[in-house]
């Protein structure tokens, strides 16, 4: 159920099990409204192109696996940065098994706010996902 205080969120994650886990976290949360879930950044991009105007379709938060592209030479951080460069305004929570502090520093040079990261581990809790998502969204609001 979508209530006025809920933040809209889309998930892009190529690991089916982890995508379902993230979907469940956001579906159960009263703070978020899961508006879409995608297996790859390419699938997301194709759906986005079919839904103009983009700024009305883009959620307030994107939760994105850094390596969710079907092309091993590509990563989704560049795609999210390019969308922001086009003027779309949304927070981004990157999820990955990698540590990527350097990536966030690079992204913040062109778009200072709204980037956060969460490392996938077997001990990751629902509360940690929600807190990281809120931190990313709050950073966009406070800019």
Question: How many Å apart are CA 16 and CA 26, to the nearest integer?
Answer: 15
With a cut of 60, say whether residue 11 has pLDDT above it. yes
Question: How many Å apart are CA 100 and CA 117, to the nearest integer?
Answer: 8
Give the domain range for residue 130.
7-141
Domain count, the chain: 1
Residue 25, in any domain of the structure: yes
Residue 68, in any domain of the structure: yes
What residues pair up with 12 in beta bridges, in sequence order? 38, 64
| CATH number for the domain that contains residue 120 | 3.40.50.2300
Question: How many Å apart are CA 33 and CA 8, to the nearest integer?
Answer: 5
- Peptide linkage before 24 cis (omega within 30 of 0): no
pLDDT tens-digit readout, 28-52: 999 999 999 999 999 999 999 999 8
Residue 15, in any domain of the structure: yes
Q: pTM for the whole thing?
A: 0.88
Residue 95, in any domain of the structure: yes
Q: Do 81 and 109 touch, CB atoms closer than 8 A?
A: no
């Amino acid at each position: 159920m979508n209530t006025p205080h809920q933040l809209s969120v889309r998930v892009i994650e190529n690991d089916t099990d982890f995508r379902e886990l993230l979907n469940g976290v956001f579906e159960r949360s009263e703070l978020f409204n899961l508006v879409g879930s995608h297996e790859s950044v390419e699938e997301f991009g194709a759906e986005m192109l079919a839904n103009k105007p983009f700024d009305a379709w883009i959620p307030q938060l994107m939760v994105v696996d850094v390596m969710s592209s079907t092309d091993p030479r590509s990563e989704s951080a560049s795609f999210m940065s390019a969308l922001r460069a086009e003027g779309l305004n949304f927070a981004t929570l990157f999820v990955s098994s990698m540590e990527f502090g350097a990536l966030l520093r690079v992204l913040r040079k062109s778009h200072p706010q709204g980037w956060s990261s969460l490392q996938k581990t077997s001990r990751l809790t629902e509360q940690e996902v929600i807190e990281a998502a809120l931190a990313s969204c709050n950073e966009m609001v406070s800019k």
